């Protein structure tokens, strides 16, 4: 049984949706499946309160499989996520480009003041045409121009959390943070963060103005942040947002040794999904399926629950274009490990060695970059 069938079956067994009066009495949003309660709240950087599980909208203009989703359905998923307690919505100018910001802006318009929008700048994108010019651009004037256009696409007067999508190796982080401080002073940005940064750059940025969150890839398939970035976040009081917390679908059981990828699907270029590596990496999925059965959950829910159990300032932002998957992901907030269960799971996890790189070389080279010094 795949994750979607398993979710549908569990919801059927649970009785489907509660009536509005019963849902209110149970503390649930009317129309929410009975087995899903609103996720708890967490704080990024000790001050920005968000739901413990967010929603990434990266694929809402184009999926990994290169298909174009239904825009009305994407907006319905965004609004249903809010109804189920999700308050953190993640996007970037590069997604589309621009189109995902427009979709999110339309989707959250009815409840804009009740949620947190985080988006990202940093690529060299023509602000009129959306043409990707290649490379990065975090020059202060460009940052400010991008921010103005983001506000229009998102239909808002402020960006709650603005990230530098990748560190620009040609622009001192002092100049980048200086531009963001100007935007904060104007009320156009409330908080800022960095995505996939080098640790020294984090320290330099934080010394100028507190960094609210770091957004890096982190999942059971990629534990890299545990070496340096997570300890640094704890030391400096910075929140951590996990992109691709389900290992681009791998930890849900949606990918196996027989899976083929569509032309243009980035996963086809990741060596962790090569035939040689995936036959070994599938041991992780087997582990998740075993624990999912033990805890009456799905493999994806176990994956997200494990991330939530790591630190109280970690927030995963799983992306999806499927309503059932959004409901499943949100429901992961109700899956909990006892200390003994967590120790046992981690022991079993440590015995699994993941093979292959997490990204194609040209993309991976943009992670962990240190900004140049200020001259």
Whether 71 and 102 have beta carbons less than 8 Å apart is answered as: no
What whole-number distance in Å separates Cα of residue 246 and Cα of residue 249? 5
SS3 134: strand
CB 133 within 8 A of CB 124: yes
Helix/strand/coil for 90: strand
Tokens at 184, concatenated: 């904060």
- What is the Cβ-side half-sphere exposure of residue 257, based on CA atoms within 13 angstroms? 11
Active-site residue among 95, 163, 192, 218? 95
Residue 59, φ and ψ in degrees, nearest 5? -95, 10
Pairing of strands 159-164, 88-90: unpaired
Question: Which tokens is 265 given?
Answer: 């699907």
- Tokens of residue 272, six digits: 């962790």
Question: How many other C-beta atoms can be found within 10 angstroms of the C-beta atom of residue 1?
Answer: 10
Q: Which has the closest alpha carbon to 158: 190, 115, 181?
A: 190
> Catalytic residue at 95?
yes
8 A C-beta contact, residue 101 and residue 119? yes
Range list of H helices, the chain = 3-13, 20-25, 71-83, 99-108, 140-153, 173-185, 199-208, 229-236, 275-294, 299-310, 323-331, 339-350, 361-364
Measuring CA to CA, which residue among 70, 104, 76, 106 is closest to residue 89? Answer: 104
**What residues are labeled active site?**
95
């Amino acid at each position: 049984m795949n994750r979607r069938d398993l979710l549908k079956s569990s919801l059927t067994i649970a009785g489907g949706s509660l009536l509005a009066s019963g849902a209110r009495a149970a503390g649930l949003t009317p129309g929410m499946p009975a087995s899903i309660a609103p996720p708890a709240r967490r704080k990024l950087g000790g001050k920005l309160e968000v739901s413990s599980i967010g929603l990434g909208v990266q694929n809402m203009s184009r999926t990994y499989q290169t298909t174009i989703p239904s825009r009305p359905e994407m907006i319905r998923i965004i609004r249903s996520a809010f109804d189920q307690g999700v308050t953190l919505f993640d996007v970037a100018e590069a997604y589309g480009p621009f189109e995902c910001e427009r979709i999110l802006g339309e989707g959250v318009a009815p409840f804009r003041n009740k949620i947190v929008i985080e988006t990202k700048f940093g690529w060299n994108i023509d602000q009129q045409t959306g043409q990707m010019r290649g490379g990065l651009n975090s020059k202060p004037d460009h940052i400010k121009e991008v921010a103005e256009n983001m506000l229009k696409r998102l239909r808002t007067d402020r960006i709650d959390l603005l990230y530098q999508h990748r560190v620009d190796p040609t622009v001192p982080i002092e100049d980048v943070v200086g531009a963001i401080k100007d935007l904060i002073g104007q009320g156009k940005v409330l908080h800022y963060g960095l995505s996939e940064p080098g640790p020294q750059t984090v320290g330099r940025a934080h010394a100028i103005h507190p960094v609210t969150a770091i957004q890096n890839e982190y999942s059971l398939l990629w534990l890299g942040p545990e070496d340096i970035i997570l300890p640094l976040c704890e030391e400096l009081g910075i929140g951590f947002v996990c992109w691709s917390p389900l290992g681009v679908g791998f930890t849900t059981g949606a990918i196996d040794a027989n899976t083929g990828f569509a032309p243009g699907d980035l996963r086809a270029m990741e060596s962790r999904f090569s035939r040689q590596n995936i036959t070994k990496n599938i041991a992780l999925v087997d582990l998740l399926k075993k624990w999912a059965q033990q805890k009456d959950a799905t493999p994806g829910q176990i994956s997200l629950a494990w991330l939530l159990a790591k630190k109280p300032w970690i927030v995963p932002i799983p992306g999806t274009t499927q309503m059932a998957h959004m409901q499943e992901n949100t429901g992961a907030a109700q899956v909990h490990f006892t200390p003994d269960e967590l120790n046992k799971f981690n022991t079993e996890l440590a015995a699994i060695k993941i093979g292959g790189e997490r990204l194609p070389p040209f993309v991976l080279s943009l992670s962990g970059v240190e900004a140049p010094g200020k001259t």
